Structure 1
């Protein structure tokens, strides 16, 4: 029996067959789903309302139905065009294998390695060169040849998981940012940067040129903001009118510098563990002999023979350090 709930069923069926889509297409599918249900049962007379509030209410209703499956019909603005995009995504970020079932384990591991290099790219460049991408299988000790890696990279681009620019650099696509966002937030929390205006993740855009200012914006967010405001929303520094002005700090492949990929940058948690290991000192043992006292008549004392002012007065041994202070270096610039 036909019911209003069939609109949601038909809509989700259409979404599953299309993947990432624009908001305009998603709303068209909603309208077509309503028309199909009305055509099946003329007594229903369901109405399609082309306004934002009605659309938001429908999306909320869809997501409520998907809660038990840990799925979500999620929106994100395309970083290049600024268009609102939608996709049905897995909310759980515990396994990147959700990206596709037709890739082999080796290919998925390869993709994870590429994602890591992109997320850890210095200077907020969020990209990796073609040469560096082709070296990843060797670095990750994967049983895959260079020619095979080229084919797989081409597949990642063709299926919309990666973007390849005219400069030959790979970066994350809108599809990856939509569908892998839980994974990215879970594995790279310190590398995630959000747009100051829309609060979406940003991997392409501009940053304020004032030292230590945290303002970051997508190009389309900047263009909208700049029409009404003349200064940075964080530091109040006057801004140029054009986002391409050289004063701004680039975010994305334009921020990449020669030599960036000669060394690997570790995730923040890995770097901290490494620093902790380097900073830990082996405490002196109880068998350490006491320092020799300077002899009378000597004009100088060797460095190793100097008395420790914090030493134990009874036995002349240096006191044990109660706690080693550790310093942590930030992996971000």
Structure 2
């Protein structure tokens, strides 16, 4: 295997270990994904020439395709940082799995989502979300309990909280874009530049077109007098700074991982053969678990998605 050329669709121990660690995290910034890939080669195939990240992930995705799972690339809406998330592509019972969330907790997320989509800013205040607690399906929930559930969504990177307001995490956007477009056709917002789903962004006060903050930054980065790409009127908003990957490499650490999460190795290691579709899992060492610590809850977002929207419950 050492030094060999890998054919598309062939899973080596390098790919299996990478996939296993992606499963435990669910979503990672690109800096950490590259670091993870390098580590997996070091453990299993240190003499091999490392594949380009795009080819490496495409190889894994070719195997996951029949399982309706994909490692998908996106960017954060606030500052354009590249991220990779393991997402579910299925809309049938083939991907139906149990979750750790009760019916009323799932309904709380649904209501938060609706408020976020309907808002002009892409944020929903905790007050507005908690005011809907009495309307939840299933067991009654106190506002205090609802606050804790919202924090669980934040910890698992499905929501982001900023100063008492909530918006969708990039992980949720990657997985839910198709659903949101279909479910909220009248409220959905699309970026005029990249034509992807827009939750946070800026809008033209004249014609109303919207743009992601990273798209605004790139479009106007060399323009001292920014004008709307649609109507050519003056763009009244402050142009945000463009994400600089070179500067990020110099810092040697990603923004989201400045603080290492302390999690015991026992919570990290899936059982042998526990990868999707029965793919053999490479065992993780205790040292490796400490190098790549993971969130306290290792449930994948796609297990949550299938249940929250009642996809094919028959």
Range of TM-score over shorter length: 0.5 to 0.7
State the superposition RMSD in angstroms: 2.7
User: Is structure 2 residue 166 aligned with structure 1 residue 146?
Assistant: no
1:34 aligned residue: 41
SS of 1:190 mapped into structure 2? coil
Q: Which has the higher contact order (CA 8 A, sep 6+)?
A: 2
Whole-angstrom distance in 2 between the partners of 1:99 and 1:20: 19
Whole-angstrom distance in 1 between the partners of 2:137 and 2:145: 14
1:225 aligned residue: 219
Q: Deviations over 1:209-228 (max 9, x none)?
A: 22x342x2222221221123
8 Å Cα contact 1:231/1:238 also seen in 2: yes
Between 1:104-113 and 1:231-240, the stretch displaced more is 231-240
SS of 2:189 mapped into structure 1? coil
What does 1:31-110 correspond to in 2, within 5 Å? 31-39=38-46, 45-48=47-50, 54-93=52-91, 101-110=99-108
8 Å Cα contact 1:21/1:86 also seen in 2: yes
List gaps (5 residues or longer) in structure 1.
Answer: 40-44, 245-333
What does 1:178-257 correspond to in 2, within 5 Å? 178-210=174-206, 212-214=207-209, 216-229=210-223, 230-239=226-235, 242-243=238-239
8 Å Cα contact 2:201/2:212 also seen in 1: yes
Work out which of the residue numbers 104, 109, 112 in structure 1 matches 2:110: 112
Higher radius of gyration, 1 or 2: 1
User: Is structure 2 residue 8 aligned with structure 1 residue 11?
Assistant: no
Between 1:146-155 and 1:180-189, the stretch displaced more is 180-189
List gaps (5 residues or longer) in structure 2.
Answer: 241-314
Q: TM-score, normalised by structure 1?
A: 0.61
How many residue pairs get aligned? The number is 229
Between 1:146-155 and 1:98-107, the stretch displaced more is 98-107
SS of 1:65 mapped into structure 2? helix
